[in-house]
Structure 1
Amino acid sequence: MLDNPAFAALTGPHTRFAERHGHAVRYRPEVCPMAALPDDPSAADWADAAVLVGAGQSMFLPVVSVTAPTDWGVTMQMPGVQMIDQSAAGVPDPEAIELGAADVPEMTDLVRRTEPGPFRPRTIELGTYLGIRRNGRLIAMGGERLHLPGWTEISAVCTDPDFRGQRLASRLILALVHGIRQRGEIPFLHAAATNTNAIRLYETLGFVVRREVMFQVFTAPR
C-alpha cells in the first residue's frame, strides 16, 4: 500500500473524501489536491483520469513514478523520499492543542508563510491536527493526511520563523506519533529529496527512509 498510498487511502479509509471516475480517483479539491491511479495504469485508466479532472486541468500524483500518455503534459516532477517510523519516542506534548475548523484561517496563514506543502480549507478533516500557541498566536502545527489501513501519514509540520530552534516541530511530530500508535497504526511521512534538513530531523526522531519517490503533476489533454 505504501507504494501507492493515495490510491490505498482514497479507496479505503478516505473513501468519503473521494471523487471517482472509473479507476481514477482524487480527493475533493477543497480537501486535498492529490489524485491516484491504480498501479501500472493502463490507457483506459488515463482516459478515466482525463474525464475526472477535466480537459486542460491538472492532476497531482504523489509517490508513484509513472509515465503519462503523450497527449498529457508534465508540469512538475519532484523527487522525494518516503520515511516510516522505526523507533520514534512518541509522547504527548503538554503544550500541544488539537486544532479545529475555527483555526483554519490561522493554519492557512502559517502554511502560506512556511510552505510545508499543500493545505486546503478542509484538509483538517483528514485527521488530527495539533498546534502550539504563544500569547494566543499559532506558532507551530502538524497533522495527519493520508490514512490507509494500518498507516497514517504525518504532514503539514511547520513552525513560524520567529520561533524556530525551539524543537517545536520535533515535539509535535512525537505527539502525533503517540496518537497514531495509540490507534495501533504506524506513522509515515514524505519529504522532498532536496529538504535534507527535514530528512535529518526525521532520522534523529526515529524515522528511516523506506524508498525514493516521485511527486508529479500532469495536465490532461484539451
Structure 2
Amino acid sequence: MRHVLDRPIWSALETAHADLAEGNKHARRYPPSIVPFAASADDTPESLGALENLPSPGESMFLVEAGPIAIPPGLVVTTEASVVQMVAARLHERISDSRIQPLTEADAADMLALATLTKPGPFTLRAQSLGSFWGIRSEGRLVAMAGQRMRQTGFIELSGLCTHPEFQGRGLGSLLFRFVAGEIASSGDTAYLHAYAANRSAISLYETQGFSVRSQMNMRVVKRRS
C-alpha cells in the first residue's frame, strides 16, 4: 500500500493544500508563484497527459516521488537528483527563545534574499502561503530562518532552513530546526523533511536532531518541450 509521503506533492494537493491546487483529479500543481511543485495522481496515460498539460512553454516543474518517476513525452528533464525523505523519530518538545520571531509578509523580500544566497531549495516571495516561518535577525538583518512547506494529513514538512554564511557555526540553524520541529509536534502532526542524498553532513545533522530516513526519493525538474 502506498504511503501518504511516497507522492508527497500529490498527497498535499489532494488534502491539506487542496485549496491551492491547480489542475484536476489526474494531475495537480501549486501556483508557480508559490512553489514550482507538481505531481500526477498515478502513472496512467490520463494522469501523465494531464501532468504534461500543466506547465506553460518554458515553465519548470519539480516532481518528487519514491521510486521511478514517469515522465510524459511532452516534458523534458532538465535536472535530476536523488533525495532522502526523513521523518521525526521522536516527539520534539516545544521550545522558546527570544531571538526567534514569526516572519510575516513584510519579511518576504528579506526571506527571498536569504534563500537566494543560501539555496535551501525552491523559494519564492509567496512561500508563506504554505505555512508559518520564523527567523532570527541581527541588527535588523535576517540571518537565519526555517518554516513549514507541504502538508498532508498527519504530516508537515520542515523546510526553508538556512543561515547566512557570516552567521554559520553559531547554532542558529540547529535552534530554528528544533523550534520548528517542536511547533509541528505541538500541533499533533509529524515533522518530515527532504535533503539531497549527497549532502551527508546535513543528513547526519538531522539524525542527531531525532530524524531518520523513511525513504529514498527521486527528484526531477521538467519543462514542456518547445
Q: Do both share a fold (TM > 0.5)? A: yes
- DSSP-derived class of the 1:47 partner: helix
Q: TM-score, normalised by structure 2?
A: 0.92
| Aligned AA (1:60) | F
Task: Check 1:88–1:197 CA distance in 2 against 1; reply closer, same or farther (3 A cut).
Answer: farther
Q: TM-score, normalised by structure 1?
A: 0.94
RMSD (Å) for aligned C-alpha atoms: 1.5
The equivalent residue for 1:20 is 23
CA distance in structure 1 between the aligned counterparts of 2:198 and 2:17, rounded to whole angstroms: 29
The equivalent residue for 1:62 is 64
| Aligned AA (2:65) | V
Shift of 1:92: 1.9
Q: Does 1:107 align with 2:140?
A: no
| Aligned AA (1:42) | T
CA distance in structure 1 between the aligned counterparts of 2:94 and 2:123, rounded to whole angstroms: 25
Q: Identity percentage over the alignment?
A: 37
The equivalent residue for 2:126 is 122
CA distance in structure 2 between the aligned counterparts of 1:23 and 1:67, rounded to whole angstroms: 14
Task: Check 1:46–1:221 CA distance in 2 against 1; reply closer, same or farther (3 A cut).
Answer: farther
Shift of 1:167: 1.1
Structure 2 gaps, min length 5? none
Q: Tell me the matched-pair count.
A: 221
1:38-62: per-residue Cα shift (whole Å, max 9, x none)? 13x1122121122221345432112
| Aligned AA (1:161) | P
1:110-150: per-residue Cα shift (whole Å, max 9, x none)? 00110101111111121110101111111100000000000
The equivalent residue for 1:218 is 222
CA distance in structure 2 between the aligned counterparts of 1:152 and 1:22, rounded to whole angstroms: 22
The equivalent residue for 1:83 is 86
Shift of 1:71: 4.3
CA distance in structure 2 between the aligned counterparts of 1:88 and 1:201, rounded to whole angstroms: 17
The equivalent residue for 1:131 is 135
CA distance in structure 2 between the aligned counterparts of 1:63 and 1:22, rounded to whole angstroms: 18
| Aligned AA (1:209) | V
Shift of 1:170: 0.9
Q: 2:209 aligns with which of 205, 216, 219?
A: 205
- DSSP-derived class of the 2:5 partner: coil
Shift of 1:16: 1.5
The equivalent residue for 1:4 is 7
CA distance in structure 2 between the aligned counterparts of 1:200 and 1:93, rounded to whole angstroms: 24
Shift of 1:22: 4.5
The equivalent residue for 1:150 is 154
Q: Contact conserved, 1:21 with 1:52, CA < 8 A, in 2?
A: no
CA distance in structure 1 between the aligned counterparts of 2:50 and 2:107, rounded to whole angstroms: 36
Structure 1 gaps, min length 5? none
1:165-198: per-residue Cα shift (whole Å, max 9, x none)? 1111111111111111111000000000111111
